[in-house]
């Protein structure tokens, strides 16, 4: 924090140093040349450099007058430098920006269990909107000045930097993050972000955008857990609305954001009370009857079971998918604390 403040206000620190130096030099000079006491020397130095026009404490010798003249000349230059530095910090907004950045930097130094989003374009902004609906902590990495100004207005936590730079990822708290979403326009940039992020945090859940089909396999090899091709998904969705329009309208009606009439939620094995570890879905549903329907189950090897049977055991690494109204999902959240993040 001190180093950061010094870097930002080094001219002001230099001004304080010079003013302190002239005060010490003046006090020492008057004590040695005129034989003043410490208080007299400090007082004489202050009225000299401030040019307030007060009279001399004692009649000065010729050496004392020469020393006073030199003090006045030096003090004029130092005060001019101090005034110009302070004015520049205020007029250019550097002082205001420092305190804004200080708040963000403090957040970045302490945040954990958050999601890093690289790029605030169309896909990135949509991802952030969903994450905010889930009350997830988000840090955005962006370097476009126009977008940065928008982020300031929205009061979102952001970092001005290049997401492909390892130091930028570290500053965003990559080692303490829960997930990373990279939505950069170039697949090569996304691949570099994935490689670097996976190396820095092996436990990180990484989701990457891809523009080309050929990039999907490469991104997964690089370390991405999920790869999304927005154009491919969008085209497939539009075609499905032609073939099975009612089915997809129904699926669109099911929300994962908590704002529609029907919501979809997931329960990890770690969210369950210990007494239900290795128990069956039927036992869980019997004791916690919130009205939600268990519609899916993910096994430890990544297989999905639709409408799972009640005798299926809940084992480490598995995941349950439930469907319900907002009030039912809210009750479920209260029981299993699904939306909580590490403090």
Q: How far apart are CA 85 and CA 231, in angstroms?
A: 52
Q: What pLDDT, on the 0 to 100 scale, is given for residue 104?
A: 66
Q: What pLDDT, on the 0 to 100 scale, is given for residue 223?
A: 93
Is residue 119 over pLDDT 70? yes
Which of these, 161, 199, 198, 180, lies nearest to 115 by C-alpha position? 180
| Domain 112-234 classification at class level | alpha beta
Q: What pLDDT, on the 0 to 100 scale, is given for residue 180?
A: 96
What would the pLDDT profile of 284-325 be if each residue is shown by its tens digit? 878 777 788 888 998 888 888 988 998 888 888 888 888 888
Q: Locate the domains of the chain by residue range.
A: 2-94, 112-234, 244-336
According to CATH, what is the number of the domain 2-94? 1.10.287.70
Using pLDDT thresholds of 50, 70 and 90, give the confidence band for residue 83: confident
- Enumerate residues 6+ apart whose C-beta is below 8 A from 14: 85
Of 127-136, 163-172, 205-214, 261-270, the one with minimum mean pLDDT is 261-270
What would the pLDDT profile of 25-72 be if each residue is shown by its tens digit? 989 998 999 889 899 889 888 888 877 767 777 888 888 889 888 888
pTM of this prediction? Answer: 0.60
Using pLDDT thresholds of 50, 70 and 90, give the confidence band for residue 224: very high
Q: What pLDDT, on the 0 to 100 scale, is given for residue 337?
A: 66
Q: How far apart are CA 270 and CA 315, in angstroms?
A: 10
Is residue 6 over pLDDT 50? no
Is residue 2 over pLDDT 50? no
Q: What pLDDT, on the 0 to 100 scale, is given for residue 95?
A: 59
Q: Are strands 319-324 and 262-268 parallel, antiparallel or unpaired?
A: antiparallel
Three-state secondary structure readout of the chain? CHHHHHHHCHHHHHHHHHHHHHHHHHHHHHHHHCCCCHHHHHHHHHHHHCCCCCCCCCCCCHHHHHHHHHHHHHHHHHHHHHHHHHHHHHHCCHHHHHHHHHHHHHHHHHCCCCEEEECCCHHHHHHHHHHHHCCCCEEEEECCHHHHHHHHHHCCCEEECCCCCHHHHHHCCHHHCCEEEECCCCHHHHHHHHHHHHHHCCCCEEEEECCCHHHHHHHHHHCCCEEECHHHHHHHHHHHHHHCHHHHHHHHHEECCCCCCEEEEEEEHHHCCHHHCCCEHHHHHHHCCCCCEEEEEECCCCCEEECCCCCCECCCCCEEEEEECHHHHHHHHHHHCCCCCCC
Domain 244-336 architecture: 2-Layer Sandwich (3.30)
Of 4-8, 247-251, 305-309, 323-327, the one with minimum mean pLDDT is 4-8
Q: What pLDDT, on the 0 to 100 scale, is given for residue 343?
A: 36
The CA-CA-CA angle for residues 300, 305, 306, to 5°, reads 150
Is residue 8 over pLDDT 80? no
Cβ atoms of 313 and 284 within 8 Å: the answer is: no
């Amino acid at each position: 924090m001190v180093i950061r403040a010094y870097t930002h206000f080094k001219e002001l620190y230099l001004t304080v140093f010079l003013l302190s130096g002239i005060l010490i030099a003046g006090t020492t000079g008057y004590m040695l040349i005129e034989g003043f006491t410490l208080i007299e020397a400090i007082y004489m130095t202050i009225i000299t450099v401030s040019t307030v026009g007060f009279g001399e404490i004692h009649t000065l010798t010729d050496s004392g007058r020469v020393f006073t003249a030199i003090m006045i000349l030096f003090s004029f230059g130092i005060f001019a430098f101090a005034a110009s530095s302070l004015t520049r910090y205020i007029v250019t907004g550097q002082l205001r920006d420092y305190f804004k950045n200080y708040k963000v930097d403090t957040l970045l130094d302490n945040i954990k269990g958050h999601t890093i989003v690289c790029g605030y374009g169309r896909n990135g902004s949509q991802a952030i909107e969903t994450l905010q609906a889930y009350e997830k902590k988000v840090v955005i990495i962006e370097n476009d000045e126009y977008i940065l100004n928008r982020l300031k207005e929205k009061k979102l936590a952001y970092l001005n930097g290049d997401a492909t730079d390892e130091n930028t990822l570290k500053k965003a708290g990559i080692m303490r993050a829960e997930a990373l979403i990279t939505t950069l326009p170039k697949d090569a940039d996304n691949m570099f972000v994935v490689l670097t992020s996976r190396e820095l945090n092996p436990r990180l859940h990484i989701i990457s955008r891809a523009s080309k089909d050929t990039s999907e396999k490469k991104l997964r090899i690089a370390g991405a857990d999920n790869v999304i091709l927005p154009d491919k998904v969008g085209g497939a969705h539009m075609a499905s609305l032609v073939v099975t329009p009612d089915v997809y309208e129904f699926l669109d009606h099911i929300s994962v954001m908590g704002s529609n009439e029907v919501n979809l939620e997931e329960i990890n094995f770690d969210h369950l009370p210990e007494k239900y570890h290795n128990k069956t879905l039927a036992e869980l549903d019997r004791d916690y009857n919130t009205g939600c329907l268990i519609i899916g189950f993910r096994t430890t090897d990544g297989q999905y079971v639709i409408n799972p049977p009640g005798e299926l055991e809940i084992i480490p690494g598995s995941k349950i998918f439930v469907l319900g109204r907002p009030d039912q999902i809210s009750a479920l959240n209260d029981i299993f604390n699904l939306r909580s993040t590490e403090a």
